[in-house]
Amino acid sequence: MKTLHLSDPEKVKICWIKNTLFLDEMYCSEALLPEINANKNLEVIEDLLEFRFDNNNNLIKE
């Protein structure tokens, strides 16, 4: 995200796909919620979670 040079990181639209062989579930940023809610083929199945990062700014896999 640092390389995007965005002034407001809350606007970042990002998805984390744990396993691209199984695209039935993915984690998406809050900025994508309006698009997800507008798409009848998608559904939100969990409350919002906060992405966590290690000391090297790598996403911590849950």
| Mean pLDDT of the 1-19 span | 79
Domain ranges (residues) in the chain: 2-38
CB-CB contact of 18 with 26 (8 Å): yes
pLDDT 10s digits, 22-37: 988 898 989 999 999 9
pLDDT band at 62 (very low <50, low <70, confident <90, very high): low
pTM, two decimal places: 0.70
